[in-house]
Structure 1
Amino acid sequence: MTPRTPAARLRTRSRRALTRLLAGAAVGALAGLAVAQAAPSAAAAGDGTRSAVTVSGRGEFKDMRFTVDRTTHLTSQAIKVTWTGGTPTAFAGTLFNTDFVQIMQCWGEDDHSVPGNPGPPRTQCQYGASPTTDRGNWPGNGQDDTRQVFYSAAPTNYGQDDVYGAANPNAPAEVPFKAVDGTVITTNTQNNPFYNRNTTNEVDFARTGADGTGQEYFEVQTANEAPHLGCGLPVGAGRTAGPRPCWLVIVPQGHLDLDGKPYTDHSQVNAGSPVSSTNWKNRIAIPLGFNQVGTNCALGAKERPTVGSELAADAVTSWQAALCPAGKVYGYTQLGEPDTRARLTADGAGGLGFTTRALGADTGTSAPSGTTTYAPVALSGAVIGFTIERRPRAGAPDDIRRLAGTKVESIKLTPRLVAKLLTESYRNSPWGAVLSNRTARGYGWAKNNPAGLATDPEFVSLNPEFAYLSVAETPATDTDLLTSLGHTDTARALWQWILADKQARQFLAGVSDDWGTRVNPYYSTNPDLNPAGAAFDPAHADDYPKSDPWCTVPPGTDAPKDATQCMTDFHPYVTDMHAGALHTRRADILWKSTWDPLANPPAYRLPGPQTVGSRFVITVTDAASAARYGLQTAHLRNAAGKFTAPTPDALTEAAKSAAGKDVAEISPADATAKGAYPLAQLVWAAVRPGSLAADARADYAALLRYAAGDGQVAGAAPGRLPAGYAPLSHGLRERALKAADALLHYTGPGPGGDDGGTDGGTTGGSSGGTTGGGEETTGNGTGSSGTLSGGASGDGGAADGGNGGGGSASPSAKASYDGGEAVQTTAAGTTPDDPGNPLRYAVPAGAALGAAAGLGAPFAGGRRLRLPLRLPLPGGRTVTVLPAFTLPEWLRRPQP
């Protein structure tokens, strides 16, 4: 054997080292890729959910720190403002006296008034719409809730306020308000044409607690709600184009007068307007970034209509913005689900409908002939949202008194408690029927009932702190739920939850609860008790009826005898659940409770929002709207006897119980898991492909594909899944994708019996059926035969027969989403930068470690590698990690 030369040995070692290096790198990279793919997906970068900002105060307030929980990708919604390091608020009687916080929204460029903290001019802030009359229950005094800048003290420096006449005691001046269109209001700003006390989002008084902390939810407004601010409107051109930013401005008020000296009168302090120059110098400004208001769709683009469930509204509005730049334009009209099903049944050419039940599930209806394709698109639910602030009773314990004015974060509700609210069974719900020792005829049942929810012994037993809280129990507070008008599957689900509970069923039938509370007989399911002569039938209810015919002149109004109000006046409807959430956030219950004899003609008018520190409003809304406006939500008792909140996990747990043919429904009675939220609902897209042309089916298939893909990634950016939804399970997403395929490849009969596969087809044929998850079943024309695979948790499912009724349409809220990063990259065919997630290093790190392992193999007794190198995969498949290759000539082994 020929001795090997040093050069040959070097070539051999180099060849083996290179082989191991490449093999190890490849295996390591593949392992890293597997880790990265298996890991949970991170939230989208720059989606607005991680945009909290903390800013310190200055001067007198240098120890305070203010945090805003979200500052980018904003739409019309609530954001949370918290602070620490403050001095507890002092009161003069019921009036805010010293050390409180005021918050407002402003527009404009930096005015350079505060170096180091850019902010807008004070003339461009929405503030100063406090009431000009009926200030008896208002917590402010003097000018601190107005734009007036008269100084009652002797200031050493008026700043710019002398321009407005601040020193003139006979003609108090005002800081003008300038709208984004250039209009300037210089006088009577409290009655300006742009905003008033019912529409402004200003926070005149926010309390600092005994521990120096405070919290307030602030409703940010886009140009849709506040055109005079213009936030979110497109501005600029080219690369600089984008939605108009705005500002959140916080003005802390302290214990110094406007001249910077201590107040001479400590009994009642006039803190002065926050937009006065002396208070403005302490302002804290935080930039707010908005999603673009208005459409991002190309002009003249063909729009595909969608219609239906409000539960889908926020998700669809987000998805619309992401799909427009890709050339897919989808309109959305909010409509009650029963009406949606009726419309699709009558005219499948109307497009795609969002529903929680199958066509033909409502009483007295049947499914249309021909194929109906169903796809799950969203998982959300109904909630009981509320704004409740603590007002301790006299003699309350110190731990309760220290929480005065703060918000109650959670309450527990049973089906029977909600039934009491929906049936107007509290004593003060029929306002004026029971007054001290007088009880109206027919209302003896109410005499011994609790005045409202807050004093109901059943409620207090579950929420013991309310034993120490004082609530003005009137129709404006806790005697009813703020509910929406019309017929919806959400209302049906709520009644089904109530009926699934034995105690609630007995209460509706006329059995008193353990404390003697009786149902309002107009809602009794016992016909012998019901004055209407017929039983109330909640099993077939899909609305919130106001059956009690009580009418009266509201006590204490001094209105004439013919100015009566009835139950729909005391407890007015809202247009939809979104409006219910908004009014609950504003603490505005819409009851026109104040008689105005000076009006022309004399009439009842709104009193404005409830007084800060003692607000109490509860509503039935959807989880997305509650999250959007920062509402607290009740924990509801489920079929397992556990109280659960509408968290994503609880929604997902409930969805596992969904069952039925064609469309899987979540039944409150069947959601028996301990962690299941009882009012969770699955939203399905329903399409009749035989009624649509091929291009329309393709567009709807694209929508379903997006909804099942990127549309299930949680986030605030356009195209993402907003808060209030739980991402669909893998099984449900797969089912939606199969339904999209079924739409795309539909070959059934089209219009006039034409072949849908050749001309695009559309109106149903003669063989009824449904498709879901890509499987088509045929039957007798009812569309209810067959079984579908892939249910709520990957199992079978779809809707069984049921009941319902008509519905009422309400317009959807205007969208305020912009293109955003997700949309820009879709249009450009690129992808955004990776988020700062350690998993992005999985592949390169794996390659490096694999290479090191390969090089170290000789020292571990490793055997020589043989190429090609293959890695076995599940299912008997293999993947080639390192193919055979030819080494450079200088590394090749010399041939003998």
Structure 2
Amino acid sequence: MRRLPAALSAFFLAAFALVPALAPGTAGAAQAAGSDAWSATHHLTRDLVDASGTTTTADSRDVTVSVDKHTDLQARERINVSWSGAHPSGGRAANPFGVDGLNQEYPVLLMECRGLDDPSLPADQQLSPSTCWTNTWNERTEKADATQAPWRHDKYADPADTGALSGVSSLPADCTDTTLSVHITPFVSAAGKTFSGCSETTMPPEAAVGSADPPNEISAFTDGNGNGSAAFEVRTDAENESLGCSHTVACSLVVVPIEGISCADADTACNKTGAFDPGSNNFGNLLTPDLAVSPYLWWSPSNWRNRFSVPLEFALPPSTCQLLGSGTPVTFYGSALMRQATLQWAPAYCLDKKRFNWQANTMPDDAAFALMASGGADAALVTGPRKPDDKTVKVGFAPTAVSGFGIAFDIDKPDNGGQEDSLELNARLLAKLLTMSYPASSLGQQRPGLATNPISLNLDPEFQQLNPGLDAVHSSEAASTLLSLSTSSDVIKAITSYIEADPDAKAFMKGKADPWGMTVNPAYKNLKLPVSTWPILDTFVPSTPGQACLANNPAPYLPKVAAPVSSFQQISTAMILSWPNVNTVCDTDTNTGLYKLGRIPPQGVGSRFMLGLVTLGDAARYGLPVASLQAAPGSYVAPDTAGLSAAVALAQQTGGKQGAFSLDQARVRKSRTAYPGMLVVSTAARTSGMDKDAAKRVAQFIDISTTQGQVPGRGNGQLPQGYLPITKKGVTAKLYAADQRTKAAVLAQKAPAVAKPKVAEPAAAPAPAAAAPASAPASAPAAPKAVTPKASQPVTAKTQLVARTAPTRSGTGGMLLPGLLFLGLVGGLVAALTRFLGRAAASGGRS
């Protein structure tokens, strides 16, 4: 009854979801003043009854659960959850997500539930098992013979729930009738609809097989010392409408340490204590656990009473300014490095009537700069120096954010050693990954020039020398590539500049073998670097005799392994879900019956190995570990405050006192402390020919973004993690000084002269009786005085957080209002077109 078809297991590797709450948490919860962390300790016990009817407390534990943050959460942000004192787990699953994690004993279950653990609230606003999300019906319905139904003997169960049918008063019509003992935990959606949850067809739409997101819930493993940890992905109503969590609908992260059923009698099934040894594996899900100590019965009173409930509070959603902002949106286009800062900055502008409605859209830096220089946008957000094509246009650069790129990794240590938390990479290893020089499999080994190369990164002696103790036996396609961008970006230019500046990497690109004999893919030999767009040059199609699918879909193999994507958001999502974008799996198209190539399944916990090129802002938001990169030979530097600060100190301004700052990789190679991936994002704006209102807007943005916007924090208007604050003093003082110069130049420029058209004097006509006044354009805000950053309260919208509600939704209105706002923004066909082209691509979904 508790087995799921193996075909479904591919969908269940992810991170998980949770959401808002301002109400008090469970008893014993503690939160330090000014801290976003949360911690609580509960005393857990389990009572067993022997054959003589004697009750004994078989286990007693003080369990502490801690989280690193639980307020101002963005969608898909990951919360780090840790615990101590829990019962050691047994029968570890390769994939602990959703149904695949059920065949374990004594795990710690993490799940997202709507509502709060606050007894003062009305019953329908409190969380309960019926408001907790699970991705499959198997996690909500349990069927067993009466002799194998331990929940019927739960010491803490209501007598009404100890019969053959429990959880519901009568068997729903859409549930299969059975002579077995049955417990059903229905799911109640945010809209108030009840899903019986007893089959695939009786679950909410987000739980459908093939749905966009893998499971939300995780049955996490506890080590032999009672300790464990997991990264839990939060999701909002944008990802899961049925659950419905948002900044106005309260939700909780519920952590249930599975201690086992406390028994009311000597029932054999209830009194079982486990079939697996602590620390053992059940990777194939081939063995069945003792039900009484498994997460199948998370809803039973014995387990549910042991829950920890962490109240969650979400930040305003990305659509806030589109729906609630005052004034016409003014969009700056440019660097993807600004994405996480934009999420927190935009509401602080659009919800403040003293400011303009600032928004930012991702666009390749070169295109954004050209758009600004031609007058199509007030400003561009770019990294590095550049000049307008029109030499009569003058442009100033105001440093706005110090961040950069990173190489995120998701790698497990051998033998259940847990996730690796540190990694060292150099420029030559990055060159090997980008040039598809690892053959990935026997198919890639057919490619001339790659036959003797290590199949994947983890088998490369150079990598092993830098990172000892990782899997040096098993190869994989995912471990042979770096998930990267297919589009133009200054980040690609930066990483290829890093490769070009390294003598060993440069020699490798020219065809020189590394000390172990590995050579570059011939397709990339002598590629001139740096480049802003990484080219896909390998065209080799391997021979596939006896493989009908591949024979019917002949295509270059290694580009299918690399499979770059169009946005950093897609890369981050793939890393969160441990889901490589390798597109080499043969499948059958259900519509045509023909073979097709698709994306490989997510990787299982314990055997993960993948890397992705990410922004430091995304890495910090989503809890992605990032590798240390080699600076000077033998020195590996992390993208932390020290590494970014040292890199800023080396950054140089070019193009005069209003020029952009950039990092010369030759200088980095002489430093032992500077992080090579640091980039300075500047607000580039014209200092000649800009109209007065636009100049005031740009000056206001420079002033606020470089003062209030540099105060670290998670609130609206503050600087998120992944960025180094720009301040008046210290290593970033030169950036702040440049801001002031550029702001002054923007304000000081003279608006272009506009010739007044000559209008013929009209014939006399009677004045209208009550002519409506013409609509005057809203005046631009005056440039404010410089503001000194203070650790003040962030700007917030006045929205009230409630527990569970049935929200009123308007599908037409939801689509129409953004459309109207968009039309209001259009000042001409060019502006409209460039806005459309500048939008960031949607995050990666299922192939």
Length-normalised TM-score, structure 2: 0.71
Q: Could you say what secondary structure the match of 2:225 adopts?
A: coil
Matched, 1:336 2:364: yes
Distance 1:653 1:260 in 2: 60
Q: Could you say what secondary structure the match of 1:683 adopts?
A: strand
Match of 1:513 in 2: 514
**CA displacement at 1:455 relative to structure 2:** 1.4
Distance 1:462 1:299 in 2: 50
**CA displacement at 1:195 relative to structure 2:** 4.0
Name which of 439, 450, 466 aligns with 1:462. Answer: 466
Is the 2:342–2:359 contact (alpha carbons within 8 Å) kept by the matching residues of 1? no
Q: 1:507 to 1:382 in 2, by over 3 A?
A: same
Is the 1:553–1:559 contact (alpha carbons within 8 Å) kept by the matching residues of 2? no
**Letter in structure 2 aligned against 1:811:** A
**CA displacement at 1:49 relative to structure 2:** 5.3
**Letter in structure 1 aligned against 2:454:** P
Match of 2:392 in 1: 369
Matched, 1:244 2:249: yes
**CA displacement at 1:316 relative to structure 2:** 2.6
Match of 1:578 in 2: 569
Distance 1:616 1:48 in 2: 37
Q: 1:318 to 1:445 in 2, by over 3 A?
A: same
Bigger shift: residues 106-115 or 336-345? 106-115
Distance 1:517 1:485 in 2: 26
Is the 2:109–2:295 contact (alpha carbons within 8 Å) kept by the matching residues of 1? no
Distance 1:725 1:317 in 2: 13
Matched, 1:478 2:485: no
**CA displacement at 1:640 relative to structure 2:** 5.6
Name which of 728, 741, 744 aligns with 1:741. Answer: 744
**Letter in structure 2 aligned against 1:698:** K
Is the 2:691–2:751 contact (alpha carbons within 8 Å) kept by the matching residues of 1? no
Is the 2:481–2:561 contact (alpha carbons within 8 Å) kept by the matching residues of 1? no
Give CA deviations for 1:336-392 in whole Å, capped at 9, x if unaligned. 1122122223x22422100113333xxxx7354222122110000110011111223
Match of 1:82 in 2: 82
Distance 1:277 1:555 in 2: 54
Match of 2:258 in 1: 253
Name which of 239, 245, 253 aligns with 1:231. Answer: 245
Q: Could you say what secondary structure the match of 2:109 adopts?
A: strand
Match of 2:829 in 1: none
**CA displacement at 1:317 relative to structure 2:** 2.7
**Letter in structure 1 aligned against 2:68:** D
Matched, 1:712 2:710: yes
Match of 2:185 in 1: 175
Q: Could you say what secondary structure the match of 2:62 adopts?
A: coil
Q: 1:313 to 1:92 in 2, by over 3 A?
A: closer
Distance 2:722 2:681 in 1: 13
Distance 2:507 2:44 in 1: 61
Is the 1:113–1:281 contact (alpha carbons within 8 Å) kept by the matching residues of 2? no
Distance 2:692 2:605 in 1: 57
Name which of 445, 464, 467 aligns with 2:449. Answer: 445
Match of 2:7 in 1: none
Match of 2:134 in 1: 127
The structure that has the greater radius of gyration is 1
Structure 1: runs of 5+ lacking an equivalent: 1-44, 131-142, 234-242, 393-403, 435-439, 526-535, 755-759, 761-772, 774-806, 815-896
**CA displacement at 1:591 relative to structure 2:** 3.2
Is the 2:513–2:520 contact (alpha carbons within 8 Å) kept by the matching residues of 1? yes
Is the 2:38–2:68 contact (alpha carbons within 8 Å) kept by the matching residues of 1? yes
Give CA deviations for 1:76-133 in whole Å, capped at 9, x if unaligned. 21110011112332227968531222211121244869999x9612222222349xxx
Q: 1:595 to 1:172 in 2, by over 3 A?
A: farther
Q: How many residues align?
A: 659
**Letter in structure 1 aligned against 2:736:** R
**CA displacement at 1:485 relative to structure 2:** 2.2
Distance 1:122 1:169 in 2: 25
Q: Could you say what secondary structure the match of 1:478 adopts?
A: helix
Match of 2:21 in 1: none
Q: 1:649 to 1:498 in 2, by over 3 A?
A: same
Match of 1:591 in 2: 582
Give CA deviations for 1:689-715 in whole Å, capped at 9, x if unaligned. 545321221122111101111111111
Match of 1:352 in 2: 379
**CA displacement at 1:558 relative to structure 2:** 6.5
Q: 1:115 to 1:685 in 2, by over 3 A?
A: closer
Mapping 1:102-113, distance limit 5 Å? 102-110=109-117
Matched, 1:287 2:297: no
Match of 1:770 in 2: none
**Letter in structure 2 aligned against 1:473:** S
Match of 2:68 in 1: 69
Matched, 1:208 2:222: yes
Matched, 1:498 2:510: no
Name which of 530, 544, 550 aligns with 2:540. Answer: 550
Distance 2:297 2:838 in 1: 43
Distance 1:586 1:350 in 2: 36
Q: 1:331 to 1:113 in 2, by over 3 A?
A: closer
Q: 1:62 to 1:636 in 2, by over 3 A?
A: same
Match of 2:421 in 1: 409
Distance 2:606 2:144 in 1: 28
Distance 2:316 2:275 in 1: 49
Match of 1:154 in 2: 149
Is the 1:640–1:673 contact (alpha carbons within 8 Å) kept by the matching residues of 2? no
Is the 1:691–1:751 contact (alpha carbons within 8 Å) kept by the matching residues of 2? no
**CA displacement at 1:618 relative to structure 2:** 0.8
Distance 1:702 1:114 in 2: 44
Match of 2:37 in 1: 51
Is the 2:333–2:838 contact (alpha carbons within 8 Å) kept by the matching residues of 1? no
Distance 2:358 2:184 in 1: 47
Match of 1:9 in 2: none
Structure 2: runs of 5+ lacking an equivalent: 1-30, 47-59, 95-100, 264-268, 277-286, 727-731, 758-776, 778-785, 787-835
Is the 1:625–1:724 contact (alpha carbons within 8 Å) kept by the matching residues of 2? yes
Distance 1:126 1:496 in 2: 46
Give CA deviations for 1:578-607 in whole Å, capped at 9, x if unaligned. 321221021011334443437223444445
Mapping 1:525-540, distance limit 5 Å? 525=526, 536-539=527-530
**CA displacement at 1:268 relative to structure 2:** 3.1
Distance 2:742 2:304 in 1: 58
Distance 1:550 1:322 in 2: 51
Is the 2:459–2:472 contact (alpha carbons within 8 Å) kept by the matching residues of 1? no
Bigger shift: residues 201-210 or 609-618? 201-210
Give CA deviations for 1:507-542 in whole Å, capped at 9, x if unaligned. 1111111111111111111xxxxxxxxxx2223x11
**CA displacement at 1:276 relative to structure 2:** 3.2
Give CA deviations for 1:777-797 in whole Å, capped at 9, x if unaligned. xxxxxxxxxxxxxxxxxxxxx
Match of 1:311 in 2: 337
User: Percent identity of the aligned residues?
Assistant: 25
Match of 1:34 in 2: none
**Letter in structure 1 aligned against 2:553:** A
Q: Could you say what secondary structure the match of 2:66 adopts?
A: strand
Matched, 1:634 2:657: no
Q: Which has the higher contact order (CA 8 A, sep 6+)?
A: 1
Q: 1:707 to 1:291 in 2, by over 3 A?
A: same
Match of 1:658 in 2: 651
Give CA deviations for 1:641-678 in whole Å, capped at 9, x if unaligned. 41000012211211122222221211222233321001
Q: Could you say what secondary structure the match of 1:63 adopts?
A: strand
Match of 1:667 in 2: 664
Match of 1:858 in 2: none
Is the 2:149–2:181 contact (alpha carbons within 8 Å) kept by the matching residues of 1? no
Length-normalised TM-score, structure 1: 0.68
Q: 1:92 to 1:683 in 2, by over 3 A?
A: closer
**Letter in structure 2 aligned against 1:622:** T
Distance 1:213 1:115 in 2: 35
**CA displacement at 1:295 relative to structure 2:** 1.4
Q: 1:685 to 1:542 in 2, by over 3 A?
A: same
